[in-house]
Chains A and B, each alone.
Chain A
Amino acid sequence: MAATPPSRPGRTLTILAVLSALVFAAIWFAAPDRVGDNRLSAAQKYQPRLGLDLEGGTSVILTPRVPKGEEGSVTREALDQAVSIIRNRVDSFGVAESETTTAGKNIVISIPGKQDDSILATVQQTAELRFRPVLLSAAGVPTPTASPTPAPSPSGSGTASPSPSPPGVSTPSSSPSTSTQNRVLPKGLRAAASASPSPSASTPPSGDATPAPSATPPAPNTAPGDPALSAALQQRFAELDCTDPEAVRQALRQEPGADDPGNPLATCDEDGAEKLLLGPAEVLGTDVDTATASLQTNSQGTATGGWVVQLDFTSDGKKKFGNITRRLFAETGDRNRFAIVLDGLVVSAPTTNAVITNGQAEISGDFTQADATELANVLKYGALPLTFDPGEVQEISATLGGDQLSAGLAAGLIGLLLVVIYSLLYYRGLGLVTIASLVVAATITYGMVVLLGWQLGFRLSLAGIAGLIVAIGITADSFVVYFERIRDEVRDGRPLRVAVETGWHRARRTILAADFVSFLAAVVLYLLSVGGVRGFAFTLGLTTLIDVAVVFLFTKPLVSLLARTKFFGQGHRFSGLAADRLGTPRRTLTSRTPRRRDVATAPKEA
């Protein structure tokens, strides 16, 4: 039976002690020094973070922006869809059980705790992602032209305006794009393509296959349904001023149809360093399957230290993306580039270095890890069907009074105390093992809750706290299963020291099978659901793992140790293993070698 190596309870217990100590030490490092303006004291670092109902939080009201002439666009469905997407995004920041709901025609997001504005800004981002081929690019200031119309934006003159026109100037400084070597070319192209004569800058494209100067707009590649680059668009591109990219984005939003995927688009990159004229969108955000933040690697595969957002396309998106890269790969200059456009502005516009058919692309830029993660989270759940104007960010108070929390805690503690009393009455000495195990389970649970609060934004609602207390109670079942097994083994005629091991082998299987079912529930619910259910699943998974850890690393070795003591090993009346209560001869219980129990020759039964 006991084929496994002899148990070494002392070592196992040490391992558990070290692990627990690590959890509590990790809290110290995981906790930030300050939250908002408040410096955290040591005691505060070791407090679990509470949910919206107990601690209150931050709330923002988003008002949908109604584009002119599209008053009917704010439908119930669109709002509900927006709520659902925003909820997913908020959830992706942690297990905080935030609330997202509609209020009239607005959307209200409530996040527990004091939040910096960046999360709120991120979750309300529209996140309309598009891949467009680049037709033209230029430095991000209005292009002076000789046309009689005066340059429309006097604002740019103070800073950057003198610089853009020198022909052939290379401006590779634009940070978002990894490759801007061919910047010379667009100049010529721009000059050539512009409908108005432009005496200032007409360096001809240096022997390229790109369109010869002609009044006809270049028929860019073979973009399906490529509309003529109208003079109006050219004009627009020439006049575009990128000193304030955010203003450009807002302007695009205001104008109906300006950022339609089917239309070409003249826009800026996010830094305002470059402006680009883009063809109709060929790959859309809906073609993206998932997005993840990852470390950027160079062609040798070594990390550059920067962060990128890795995109995985759907099978449909894979095809589309393969097509666009195949076509662009054959091109040169600006037309070799494609632009990744997010909410009207270009995030990056890399050159096409290869035909990409595996459906993977990455958005590179000046991302920190946090930026990349935020962007990935936003992209993963798709674009909002509506654009929102953020309202005032407000602090909201807890919805439950402190009495609810204290009553819940008190009741839970009393309940656990009753468990302790019952265990002592029924299991006597073994009850002490139960109590010790429960205390260890509770301590580790507490530590993990605090640690995960800082690490993953895990927060406890009142229901969560009650659930934890109940879960700790249910944890006791593992001990009960084990104790009953030991007793069964003793009844089968095994001496206690053997029964502790053989009983463990059988109990272990039962405990693992039963806990596996719980863990399965936790994983599936966590992965597939949102909101409160996800928080519950997290708690369930956590307590299940702790249950297994405590039984394996604490209860079992402790019982092994105790079985060696006289009190338990000899079946003392109060040990919970007394021979008469187990209905077995004392001789069997205490014998040092396992021997078969032969009832026929056993002198006395009880």
Chain B
Amino acid sequence: MTRLGSLGARLYRGEVSYDFIGNRRTWYVVSAVLLLVSVSSLLLLRLTLGIEFRGGAEFRVQGSDVSVDTVRNVVDDTVKTEIVVQQVGQNAVRAQTEALKSAEVEDIRLALAERFGLERADVSTQFIGPSWGRDISIKALRALLFFLLGVVVFLSLYFEWKMALAAMVALLHDLVITAGLYSLIGFEVTPATVIGFLTILGYSLYDTVVVFDKVRENTQGLTGGSRTTYSGAVNLAVNQTLVRSINTSIIALLPIAAILFAGVVLLGAGPLKDLALALFIGVAVGAYSSIFIAPAVLAQLKEREPAMQALARRVSSRKAGTATTPAGRRGSVDAEASDSAASDEEVLAPAGVSPTRPPQGRPAPSTGRSQQQRSQQRKSGSRNRSGGRKKR
């Protein structure tokens, strides 16, 4: 724990860092595989919808010695089905099952009548419609659409539209994978599951917003300098918020795991396991995407901007300059000359944040920059220098 404790400090200063952006292809592949598995599972296995969505059969038994537990046992012994049993009024019990074949309905009906010594006619059966009807789902989807529109507008105003887009990509990624893994595990979809999915929706965005807020802070006034590329700044932000992301995810996952355990192992049925499973997958995937996917997508989008490309050229030329010339010397001529040498790889794996890179020299003395940019530069510069010192 102490190691993890000081890890935060080293991550913050960039002494320890993982090149999330540079290694993005690896993680894109991981996500692609997950998505492929999810989509095929959704297509082949499909989500099994519960009684609440599909409706089913209802049995009503009237009699003085009819009890909920006995009815449940009788139905359980006769046909394998999901079942909801409840007492109705003083001496009647109703059992709702999945939609059954008429032979199965007949079996249950006879079994119930026999068990309680009743006539077949005393056990009434009928088809029940879904309590979570189509209209609820349609309205929920419409609401969702409006919400996503609202989020895109908010994130575009608060951040910028590219961040909104990246957040949406991550969100979609999370939802598809969660639904896919859920169907793969084969739990039935109940209203509790839907509640779980909706929670993830909020959680995934929340997580991404926290990371992007740091990205925005790190990239303010970035184009005025030549110290790090946009990707580099994003990478630093992800590393700096890594401890937060891990801590938050663990803290969120602990109660979910406990409920999942209770739902699956202790109870074996009921809404707890559905909700907890959806949440568990979703929170884990959400944390993953906010670290590995959303920032990478954002960096990719931003690196297409001419200003960011120019910045990348400046950074790589300066790096080339410091590599070929004695430490501390840099020249703008060198920078121009090495433009062509700036390969894509170097742009995406920026200096100063990766431990594998040699420590860089002092940042350029700034001229004609705003006070804010200068202080930003100084701050991150000192961080990197201290990192460099330590490594040596």
Interface residues of chain A, those whose CB is within 8 Å of chain B, are 53, 56, 59, 79-80, 83-84, 87, 99-104, 108, 392, 394-400, 403-404, 407-408, 410-412, 414-416, 418-419, 422-423, 425-426, 461-464, 466-467, 469-474, 476-477, 480-481, 484, 487-488, 491-492, 506, 509-510, 513-518, 520-521, 524-525, 527-533, 536, 540, 580-584, 597-600, 605-606
Contact = CB atoms under 8 A, between A and B. Distances in A.
Interface of B: 1-2, 4-6, 8-10, 12-13, 55, 58, 68, 84-89, 92, 94, 126-136, 139-140, 142-144, 146-147, 150-151, 154-155, 158, 191-192, 194-195, 198-199, 201-203, 205-206, 209-210, 213-214, 217, 240-241, 243-244, 247-248, 250-252, 254-259, 261-263, 266-267, 270-272, 275-276, 279, 379, 382, 385-386, 389-390
B270 A462 contact: yes
Given A103-B129, A398-B86, A509-B213, A407 B9 contact: no
28 contacts: A99-B131, A100-B131, A396-B87, A397-B86, A397-B87, A404-B272, A407-B263, A408-B272, A411-B263, A415-B255, A418-B254, A422-B251, A425-B1, A461-B271, A472-B255, A473-B251, A476-B252, A480-B248, A480-B251, A517-B151, A532-B195, A533-B143, A536-B195, A581-B8, A583-B9, A583-B12, A605-B386, A605-B389
A79 B2 CA distance: 64
A415 B259 contact: yes
Nearest to B89: A394
A103 B59 CA distance: 11
A56 B276 CA distance: 23
Contacts of A99: 131
A509 B210 CA distance: 10
Nearest to B143: A528
Contacts of A540: 198-199, 202
Nearest to A479: B251
Given A480-B244, A510-B210, A514-B206, A80 B255 contact: no
Contact of B209 (A59, A80, A467, A510): A510
Contacts of A411: 255, 258-259, 261-263, 266, 272
A463 B12 contact: no
Contacts of B126: 103-104
Contacts of B9: 487, 491, 581-584
B interface, over-half SS: helix
A10 to B, nearest CB: 28
A466 B275 contact: yes
A588 to B, nearest CB: 13
Contacts of A470: 199, 252, 255-256, 259, 279
B86 A408 contact: no
Contacts of A517: 151, 154-155, 202, 205-206, 209
Given A463-B191, A467-B195, A492-B379, 10 more contacts: A102-B129, A463-B192, A470-B252, A476-B252, A487-B8, A487-B9, A529-B136, A533-B198, A540-B202, A605-B389
Contacts of A481: 210, 244, 248
A566 to B, nearest CB: 21
B259 A83 contact: no
A488 B198 contact: no
Nearest to A474: B252
**Which 10 residue pairs across A and B have the least CB separation, nearest first?**
A415-B255, A102-B129, A583-B9, A415-B258, A411-B262, A397-B87, A528-B143, A463-B192, A104-B126, A418-B254
A80 B195 contact: no
Contacts of A530: 135-136, 139
B85 to A, nearest CB: 7
Contact of A463 (B146, B243, B271): B271
B210 A412 contact: no
Contacts of A425: 1
Contact of B203 (A474, A484, A487, A582): A474
A177 B191 CA distance: 47
Nearest to B385: A599
Contact of A473 (B130, B198, B255): B255
B88 A59 contact: yes
Contact of B6 (A104, A510, A581): A581
B213 A510 contact: yes
Contact of B85 (A100, A399, A418, A491): A399
Contacts of A484: 8, 241, 243-244, 247
A599 B382 contact: yes
Contacts of A531: 132, 136
Contact of A462 (B89, B130, B133, B272): B272
Contact of A605 (B266, B279, B390): B390
Contacts of B139: 528-530, 533
A410 B244 contact: no
Contacts of B1: 425-426
A481 B206 CA distance: 12
Nearest to A415: B255
A496 to B, nearest CB: 15
B129 A101 contact: yes
Contact of B210 (A101, A463, A514): A514
